[in-house]
Amino acid sequence: MFGVWAPGEEVAKLTYFGLYALQHRGQESAGIAVSNGSQILVFKDMGLVSQVFDETSLGSLTGHIAVGHARYSTTGASVWENAQPTFRATAQGSIALGHNGNLVNTAELAELVAELPQGPGRATKVAATNDTDLITALLAGQTDEDGTPLSVEAAAARILPKVKGAFSLVYMDEHTLYAARDPQGIRPLVLGRLERGWVVASETAALDICGASFVREIEPGELIAIDENGVRTSRFAEARPKGCVFEYVYLARPDTDIAGRNVYLSRVEMGRRLAKEAPVDADLVIPTPESGTPAAVGYAEASGIPYGSGLVKNSYVGRTFIQPSQTIRQLGIRLKLNPLKEVIRGKRLVVVDDSIVRGNTQRALVRMLREAGAAEVHVRISSPPVKWPCFFGIDFATRAELIANGMSVEEIGASLGADSLAYISIDAMVEATTIAKPNLCRACFDGEYPMELPDPELLGKQLLEVELAGGADAADALRRP
């Protein structure tokens, strides 16, 4: 997500470049909403940021406030209707909203949407098809006891304490840019300063690309509003920090800082600690590019084994992990990597990757390396086994999808065809981030969720059901207990 308040600037183009820097977080659809002070215009479509927008479309988005979003679906079908920012008319104007994360009380929120008042002058209520739609509808439709519509800011103060799960929000009405972060701060969200305005973004790397200086992180449980009077801040919940450790492992860009810690340095340190915990006799350390590269650098440094490039990545193939279907994921792996036969032939290899979720990438990779002449293939993973589903914005919603569920490390290694397999320990991974263990969500690794959940298996099935559904079917799935 990316938002900007900057009178006199080309806010649509700033948002375009901000989203371009955040493309790794979502590749299914992209959208930008702009306000000129009297109305909001939204342009969004399926595809990458560079595919959705061109000079003509950006030139039509004029104003002084903008909100942008690049989507990676975890609930709601991968269709145009679920592209963001979402848009709703209100009794006083309109609202456009982008959301990063996943909610866990969608059934309760859907009931609140069903109770919204209808009639002349009221916000238009429509069937929500994902959790982001639910938030937008609730913010747009609040009234006080005598039926007078509430402002967007007053609606947020009422609604956000009722929203459970992971939510970093960037949204706007005609005059004000807003940003909010859930009390656990599971997904990152930062505030930046332009010479003539302000920026909010999912990662600090997006501030760099548009020339904004980093000011601070938006605090867990904080709501900020930015308008002609500057930045206002309020708190809708007490902060209970539980940032997602998987951001450090995989999701965030390596040049991003989260909670004061650089992601690249964390990944290199994970590799160093992995080498100490899981040494092996080998001739060459190679990464699975590009997500495994920093950890491979650290592994080579700590082990004394030379580092090399044994795989060439096609830079024009997206991240296989976040593609929307199993078929495309498997095809993407073959398109994505090619071995350097002259480098790896006859070598005992240590192949370092950041994580194993479903096992598709590593299985195909081990097979390719053996076919290319590797003498031995030892797989080292800079995160622990992923054994539990994530309900907060990472796309593995049921335990059945996870290769580590019900299999030992030795069995997983045999399944991948590797000579050996080892993972970093949870404690070593956490220590590499320099963040206190109680302040990190590690649920996908240890099953300790940062908040009370409905039955995890039931919730996982519900999320999967919503992802496969569309339109009214999706709305029904969201409301289903």
DSSP calls for 328-373: HHHHHHHHHEEE-HHHHTT-EEEEEES--SSSHHHHHHHHHHHHTT
pLDDT in tens, 130-152: 789 999 999 999 999 888 999 99
Span 44-57, mean pLDDT?
Answer: 92
Burial of 8 (0-12, 13-18, 19+ CB in 10 A): exposed
- Give the alpha-carbon dihedral of 409, 411, 416, 422, to 10 degrees: 20
pLDDT in tens, 70-122: 987 655 555 666 789 999 999 889 999 999 999 999 989 999 998 888 654 45
Which residue, chain included where needed, has tokens 């100490």? 276
Percent of the chain exceeding pLDDT 90 equals: 74
Where is pLDDT greater, at 337 or 253?
253
Residue 373 banded pLDDT, cuts 50, 70, 90: very high
- What is the spatial distance between Cα 241 and Cα 182, in angstroms, rounded to a whole number? 9
**Greatest Cα-to-Cα distance within the chain, rounded to the nearest angstrom:** 79
pLDDT in tens, 321-355: 455 566 655 555 667 788 999 999 999 999 999 99
Are 369 and 344 in contact by the 8 Å Cβ rule? The answer is yes
Which residue, chain included where needed, has tokens 């007078």? 148
This prediction's pTM: 0.88
Q: What is the pLDDT of residue 198?
A: 98
Where is pLDDT greater, at 462 or 257?
257
Q: What is the pLDDT of residue 115?
A: 87
User: Is a pLDDT exceeding 90 seen at residue 459?
Assistant: no
Which residue, chain included where needed, has tokens 């269709």? 79
Selection from 89, 88, 85 nearest residue 61 by Cα: 85
Sign of CA dihedral 385, 391, 397, 398: positive
Distances (CA, A) of 232 to 97, 153, 223, 225, 332: 19, 11, 8, 5, 45
Q: What is the pLDDT of residue 290?
A: 86
The DSSP call for residue 23 is G
Q: What is the pLDDT of residue 125?
A: 52
Sheet holding 376-381, edge to edge: 284-287, 348-353, 376-381, 420-423
Residues in the chain: 481
Q: What is the pLDDT of residue 119?
A: 54
User: Is a pLDDT exceeding 60 seen at residue 251?
Assistant: yes
Q: Residue 327 contacts by C-beta under 8 Å, 6 or more apart in sequence? A: none
Span 350-378, mean pLDDT?
Answer: 94
Q: What is the pLDDT of residue 394?
A: 85
Selection from 88, 91, 101, 99 nearest residue 42 by Cα: 88
pLDDT in tens, 7-40: 999 999 999 999 999 999 988 899 999 999 999 9
Q: Among 214-218, 347-351, 390-394, 454-458, which stretch is predicted with the lowest mean pLDDT?
A: 454-458
Q: Among 71-85, 299-313, 368-382, which stretch is predicted with the lowest mean pLDDT?
A: 71-85
Percent of the chain exceeding pLDDT 70 equals: 86
Q: Give rounded-to-5 percent helix, strand, coil for the chain.
A: 35, 25, 40
Selection from 95, 186, 96, 81 nearest residue 130 by Cα: 81
- What is the spatial distance between Cα 328 and Cα 98, in angstroms, rounded to a whole number? 26
Q: Give the distance, in angstroms, between the CA of residue 182 and the centroid of all CA atoms in the same chain.
A: 14
- Tell me which amino acid residue 351 is: V
User: What mean pLDDT, rounded, does the chain reach?
Assistant: 88
Which domains are delineated in the chain? 2-242+470-479 (3.60.20.10), 249-447 (3.40.50.2020)
Residue 469 banded pLDDT, cuts 50, 70, 90: very low
- What is the spatial distance between Cα 437 and Cα 245, in angstroms, rounded to a whole number? 10
- Return contacts of 415-418, CB within 8 angstroms, 24+ apart: 415/359, 415/363, 416/356, 416/359, 416/362, 416/363, 416/366, 416/379, 417/363, 417/366, 417/367, 417/370, 417/377, 418/351, 418/362, 418/366, 418/377, 418/378, 418/379
User: Is a pLDDT exceeding 90 seen at residue 244?
Assistant: yes
Angle between helix axes 263-277 and 293-303 (nearest 10 degrees) is 40
- The beta strands (E) that lie in 354-434 are given as 376-381, 420-423
pLDDT in tens, 417-450: 999 999 999 999 999 999 999 999 999 999 999 9
Where is pLDDT greater, at 317 or 242?
242
